Every structure is written in C-alpha cells, then in structure tokens.
Structure 1
Amino acid sequence: MTVHVQTTHADGSTGAIRNESGRPVVLQVLPALETGGVERGTVDIAGAIVQAGGTALVASAGGAMVHALQRTGARHIELPLASKNPITLRRNASRLASVIETFGVDLVHARSRAPAWSALWAARRTGRPFVTTFHAPYALNLPLKRLYNSVMARGARVICISDFVRQHVQRIYGIDPARLRLVHRGVDLEVFDPARVSPERVIQLAQRWRLPDGVPVILLPGRLTRWKGQIDLLRAAAKLTDLDFLLVLVGDDQGRAAYREELEQLVGRLNLDSKAMIAGPCNDMAAAYMLSDVVVSASTDPEGFGRVVGEAQAMGRPVVASDHGGAPEQLLVNETGLVYPPGDLDALAEALREALALDETARSALAERAIARVRTHFSKDAMCNGTLAVYREVLNDLEMQRIGTRG
C-alpha cells in the first residue's frame, strides 16, 4: 500500500522533509494532540530534537496542540491514530511505513498503545529502530489486555517516566533491565517559576474565582474524573470543622457532567458550601499555584508520575499526596510535602491540618527546598536531555551493528 504523505507546516508550506545536516529524523506517534501530559511531553521533545539540529515529526489525529507543536519547528502528519480498530491499526502501519520512507525517518518513538502497534509493525517493515515511553501501569483486568499493553514493552529501549513505572514494567512484562531507561517527566521551569508570575495575574485569577481575602486555599488540580480523588478530598476536608479554608477543585469535566453534579451534591451534603468550589478549567495554572496554601494530589489509582506534584513544588507550595505511584519519589517526605495512605481519609485530613499549620518561616524553608529539588531532578530540560540520550544510544547501537555486518 502506498500512501501519499503531505504535511502542512506552521509557515503554510507543504511537502517532504530532508535533513541536510545529517542529524537524525525522529518520528513520534500518539493518538491525538489534545491537552495532557503525554501530549505536552511530545511537544517538548519535538522542540528539543529541533534545537539539537534534528528533524522532528509527529503523527497523530490532530488536536488543540498542533499549533504549539508547529511553533517548535516540528512537523505534524495527520493520521487516524486514535482508532483502536484492528483494521485501522493495520492500515496505519502501512501509512506510517510510507511516512518513514518518504521522510527518511531514522527512529520511531511510540507514546501510546494503539498507535504503538501500528508504529511497531511499520518500524519492523522498514528496518527502523523502535522506542517507547511507558507512561502508566496500564490495567490488566480484561482478557487480552496484557497482550495489548505489551507493545509498550517492545522497544529497543523502553523509557519509563518514574521508577514506579520502571519496576512495574520489569515485574509485569519480564523485560530485560538493560532495555529500560528512567527519564522522569519534566516541569517547564519557564512557566512554573514564582518569579515569572506577576501580581496582576494572581489578582485577576483571585477575582475570577471570587476568593475571600485571608482564607487559606487548598488546591486540587486535575480533570474531573473519579480516580483523581476529588471525593476523598472533600470528605477529608469535611473533618476539619475547626479550620477556616477554601477548597478549590480545578479541572475540566471533559463531558463528565454527571460526575460534576455528584461532586456538587456532595459539597452540599458535607456542609461545605462556603468552604469548597468547583472552579472548572484554568488557563493559568502557575497563578493558581501562587494562590494556594496547600496543593493536593489525591489520586485513588497510582499515577505514573503525577505532574501536579512537580509543578506545585516548582512553585514553592507544600504538597499533600497519596503515597503510591510516581508521586512519592518526587517529594522529600516531611521536607517538601506530606504523603498519606491512599483512601485513608483521617490521614489525609491530618496531613492537610499539618500543612495548613506551617508558619511563614517553615513555609519559606519548604519553598526553597521544593524549588531546588525540582530544578535539580525534574526539569523539562532534564527530561529532554535524557530522551535525546536514549535516541543517540539506540542509533549508535544500530550503526555499530551495521559496521559489524559490513566487517
């Protein structure tokens, strides 16, 4: 099957890409470029490839972040990669093989399961190396689910976004540890930097949310979905009857109107009408963090990384997080944040109480430690450099194999 591939670039031009510098051409594949951590990471890595002199291609079904991708100098190729239909997966494999040959792709990097199957078949067909990023401990509770998930463990290198994910991959899929690479998800320190957030931005957001003066703010950022733990946080906060606070749930319901209504009803039943609000989506999360006194990550299922924890620390805010997944490895427990056993509402309430009780001196010391930790270990630059190092390693291995074959 031959596919005519044409892309539209940020400058309006179209056509194939040739990298005259000899630097690699890297193709990343994912379902779509809507908002989310996977999408943000894809755009960040594309920008890093371009800055390093390479050519960055991204294939997806498109979405809101295509323009952000194009601004990095990367090229977007629109394909129906969000589909899980087996026939479409096979067709996408042929389409991606055509992309690989047309654009002279040197390495294929898959970031999600359905398009990863198509990318794996295309990479094998064209003899290109295949790399994956394992973003989460995917569910194994349905028949054939383990097989479906296993494509993410089939890369020449498997990038794990946390040590928690690395251990999961090794335990569940029996992968050779030599193929695993730990590259933490990174925080954009140009966005999440207290010094870059103007007082005007903070005031505007406070006015939009109609925050009362002098009332401590407990912030839970995350889309409105049950496993993000909004219900646990509301129930734990209801135990703090002697404290004054405002709990703000920030995030889009993404069409989950019934869940949002359930949360609103729960606020009423818990007598939290004056102490909790559902703020909806926010387009200035750095200002939102600045408004907060405590940031909570209350996920009931373990997250592969949990970027809220990193972003909040980058902004110098104390964090309270459920003690599973990738969150605990980001924190210095009792120094930059607190953890509690998932589902233990009494422990969550006590952690909130402790965080709210910090005096100004303790808060300043915590902020200094938290900011330093993120800048040292969890920056976007560290993520990009680590990923590019994986690319170099795989391509160098391939070159050595070719030399050995010729010899």
Structure 2
Amino acid sequence: MATLLQVLPALERGGVERGTVDLARFLKRAGHRPLVASAGGGLVAELEADGITHLALPLASKNPLTIWQNAARLGELMRRHRVELVHARSRAPAWSARIACRRAGTPFVTTVHAVYGGYDYRLKRRYNAVMASGDRVIAISDYVAEHVCEVYGIGPEVLRTIYRGVEVGEFDPGSVSPERIAKLQAQFQVPPGRQVVLLPGRITRIKGHLLVAEAVARIARDDFVVLFVGPDTPGSSYSAELHAKIQALGLAERVRLVGGTGDMAAALVLADLVLAPSIGPEAFGRVSVEAQAMGKPVIAADIGGLGETLLPATTGWLVPPGNAAALADAMDLALAMPAEARARMGEQARAWVREHFTAERMCRQTLAVYAELLGARA
C-alpha cells in the first residue's frame, strides 16, 4: 500500500476535478491510501463520503509568496501523512508540489491538461514549464504530448499519454430513466417531433456556437432544433453577439440557448446528434467521448485533441475547423440517416469508448505510471 497525494487548485465540478475524484476512488479500491489537496469546492463532500482525506490548502493562488508558503505547508503534510508520491494537475499547485518533493526526495508526477498559452514569452514559458518537470509527465492526448515534446523537450523516457476517461456506468443510456428525459424535455421546451442536435459546453467563442448558427442557416430541412446546453455569462459580449446572430439569420425557432444542466447523461439521451465544433484547439474532447458512450453520433472539428476521440464515418464525422459549409453538410447527412444506420453507429461508438476512454482504463494506466517510480509499492 502506498500513500499517494493529488494536488489541484480546487475541487469544483469540471473534467480535471472529476478525473481526480475518479482516480482517488480507484486507488482506494486498489488498496492504496489516496489523499487530495486543494482549496476546496463542491466535490469535497463526495470525496469524504468515500472515506478519502481532503487537505485544505490555498492552492488556487498564483501569488508567488503563497506558492512558496504552500510548498512549506505541503512539505509538512507530506511528512505527517508519509506521502510517497505527489501528482500535480495544475501549474500553481505544481510549483508548490515540485519544491516540496525536491526537498523531500519524493517522486513527482504531473498531468498536462491543456496547451498553455503564452509559451513564446520567457516568463510565461517558465511558469508553464513546471508541468513538464515531473519525474513522469502525463499528457491527456497525443496532441498535448506532441506540444510538450516540442516546446519543452520532454522525451519518451518521461512522457506518457493517458486519455481522459468517463464513467461508463454513469454514461450508459440504459441507466437514464424516462422521468429524467421527460424532465429535460420540459425544461428545454423541445418541440414535439423534432430531432435534437446538442452542443454541450459553456457559452464561449472557442466552442463554435456562431459557426453552428451559420451552418444551420445553410440547411434546408427544418425537422430539427439545435440546443446550446451550457452555462452563460449574463451580459457577456459574446453572448450578445450570439443572440444577435441567431436573430439576424432568422433561426430563433431552430437554434436556442437553454442554459446548463446537472444531468448531462439525460441531455445526451435526448439528443439525436451531438456537436463538438470548436474553432480553436482543444486538448482533448470530453463532450465527444461522453456522447459516444451514450451511443450518439458526433460531429467534431478536426483540431487539437478532438480528432483523436472518434472514428470518422464509423462513430461520427470530422470536419475542418471553422468551415460552416462542411459542418452543414455533415449535419444534413447525419440527420438524414435511417434509424437502423444511426443505431449501428451508436453501438460502434459505445464499443470505441469502452475500449479507449473509460475512467477505469485511465486509472489503471495512471497507477502503472506510479509503479514506474515506486516499484512494487504501487
């Protein structure tokens, strides 16, 4: 049994945070003693309900003085709990953890969850470089791994690619009750008899909402509705621009912003087609994977790590980023698919996710990385 500490800024709801919780639970089931340090958040209660210790530290702070103070605090916690390995998932906590680990001679692992901007600037590049300074460096996609290798010179002896995973028990169409689906239909005010096209994700420019509106305007058929499902920032300039675009194109009945949901699995069951049309590089493509886990075909932009998440013409379609005409053609093709063909694509998508993108697989591969540094203890 090994005592293994993960550090991250906070434990609010998000992909990085969910992966942290999934790994902590897996480590406990495997007989280890997982610890998580963060500034706290909504997932702390979930961790503690499973008997996993959370250590509260102000790790979200980027203040250099706080980072140094956190290094001392982490060092003390590592001694008290006899931590044998530390795994950092974000830059500010990674600096504190790196200092503490170097002082204690403790193995240090990082996971690079993004291609961080500003690496052309010396100070920013130096700040970002901590994520490439682990004894092992995990990248969440080949796209991220290539970036880390190119920018920071990390070689294959240190670098490992481990895709993020989803809980296939949670993202299983058979686990979603009709009541949950009916509740969302009412909440989203889905018109009867319409196919549903879903774009999950926060309302930000990179997610491609404007591009989708342009694509919908090119499609002649009117038997579908597009739902933008995700939190919006009231008063944001992008949100205002998006609303204006929808009105200008006469799409108010075909494209709608419906807000966020705490039940994404049910939202995906409701969908006939899921979009991931990002206009800028994504490190991975969690939406694409979750949708395929639910047996839904996906149209994704072939950019960043998104292209690694599906099998073109088998589980979905890849389109050139920023190309409204190509997106419209793919949407038209998908919406015209016979039910049998769509069901077959859905089964292939579920099999693809079960083979490559489960939380169990992610956790087992991460534990194998720990074992490289700890030997038989992991």
Is this contact kept in 1: 2:371–2:377, CA < 8 A? no
Aligned match for 1:33, one of 2, 11, 22: 11
Letter in 1 for 2:371: R
> Is 1:62 aligned with 2:40?
yes
Whole-angstrom distance in 2 between the partners of 1:255 and 1:111: 30
- Indicate the residue corresponding to 2:171 in structure 1: 192
Whole-angstrom distance in 1 between the partners of 2:377 and 2:146: 27
Compared with structure 1, are the counterparts of its residues 360 and 37 closer, same or farther at alpha carbon in structure 2 (3 Å cutoff)? same
Matches within 5 A, 1:273-292: 273-292=252-271
> Is 1:90 aligned with 2:68?
yes
Compared with structure 1, are the counterparts of its residues 288 and 185 closer, same or farther at alpha carbon in structure 2 (3 Å cutoff)? same
Is this contact kept in 2: 1:240–1:353, CA < 8 A? yes
Matches within 5 A, 1:42-57: 42-57=20-35
Deviation per CA, 1:315-355: give whole Å up to 9, x if none: 11110000012221121101100011111111111111111
Whole-angstrom distance in 1 between the partners of 2:11 and 2:120: 27
What is the CA distance between 1:142 and its match in structure 2? 4.1
Compared with structure 1, are the counterparts of its residues 398 and 50 closer, same or farther at alpha carbon in structure 2 (3 Å cutoff)? closer
- Indicate the residue corresponding to 2:358 in structure 1: 379
What is the CA distance between 1:182 and its match in structure 2? 1.5
Aligned match for 1:228, one of 197, 207, 211: 207
- Indicate the residue corresponding to 2:319 in structure 1: 340
Whole-angstrom distance in 1 between the partners of 2:122 and 2:324: 33
- Indicate the residue corresponding to 2:114 in structure 1: 136
- Indicate the residue corresponding to 2:307 in structure 1: 328
Letter in 1 for 2:4: V
3-state DSSP of counterpart to 1:59: strand
Is this contact kept in 1: 2:292–2:346, CA < 8 A? yes
Whole-angstrom distance in 2 between the partners of 1:61 and 1:177: 33
- Structure 2 residue runs without a partner (length 5+): none
- Indicate the residue corresponding to 2:95 in structure 1: 117
> Is 1:205 aligned with 2:206?
no
Whole-angstrom distance in 1 between the partners of 2:88 and 2:279: 27
Matches within 5 A, 1:229-248: 229-248=208-227
Deviation per CA, 1:237-278: give whole Å up to 9, x if none: 121143332110011125664432332222111111111111
Letter in 2 for 1:107: L
What is the CA distance between 1:398 and its match in structure 2? 10
Q: TM-score, normalised by structure 1?
A: 0.90
Whole-angstrom distance in 1 between the partners of 2:147 and 2:306: 15
> Is 1:162 aligned with 2:141?
yes
What is the CA distance between 1:393 and its match in structure 2? 1.4
3-state DSSP of counterpart to 1:353: helix
Whole-angstrom distance in 1 between the partners of 2:37 and 2:235: 28
Whole-angstrom distance in 1 between the partners of 2:129 and 2:288: 28
Deviation per CA, 1:185-210: give whole Å up to 9, x if none: 00111110011111121111101111
Q: TM-score, normalised by structure 2?
A: 0.96
3-state DSSP of counterpart to 1:178: coil
- Indicate the residue corresponding to 1:148 in structure 2: 127
What is the CA distance between 1:72 and its match in structure 2? 2.9
Aligned match for 1:363, one of 321, 342, 364: 342
Deviation per CA, 1:24-71: give whole Å up to 9, x if none: 111111111111111110111111111111111111111111112222
What is the CA distance between 1:143 and its match in structure 2? 4.3
Whole-angstrom distance in 1 between the partners of 2:245 and 2:52: 45
Compared with structure 1, are the counterparts of its residues 137 and 256 closer, same or farther at alpha carbon in structure 2 (3 Å cutoff)? farther
- Indicate the residue corresponding to 1:311 in structure 2: 290
Is this contact kept in 1: 2:38–2:55, CA < 8 A? yes
- Indicate the residue corresponding to 1:104 in structure 2: 82
The alignment's C-alpha RMSD in Å is 1.6
- Indicate the residue corresponding to 1:18 in structure 2: none
Whole-angstrom distance in 1 between the partners of 2:276 and 2:155: 32
Whole-angstrom distance in 2 between the partners of 1:64 and 1:233: 32
Percent pairwise identity: 51
Whole-angstrom distance in 1 between the partners of 2:197 and 2:275: 7
- Report how many residues are paired: 377
- Indicate the residue corresponding to 1:262 in structure 2: 241
Deviation per CA, 1:64-84: give whole Å up to 9, x if none: 111122223211111111111
Whole-angstrom distance in 1 between the partners of 2:216 and 2:121: 35
Whole-angstrom distance in 1 between the partners of 2:116 and 2:87: 18
What is the CA distance between 1:397 and its match in structure 2? 9.1
Whole-angstrom distance in 2 between the partners of 1:168 and 1:397: 32
Whole-angstrom distance in 2 between the partners of 1:39 and 1:194: 24
Larger deviation: 237-246 or 105-114? Answer: 237-246
Whole-angstrom distance in 2 between the partners of 1:317 and 1:305: 18
Letter in 1 for 2:114: A
What is the CA distance between 1:227 and its match in structure 2? 1.0
Whole-angstrom distance in 1 between the partners of 2:313 and 2:40: 42
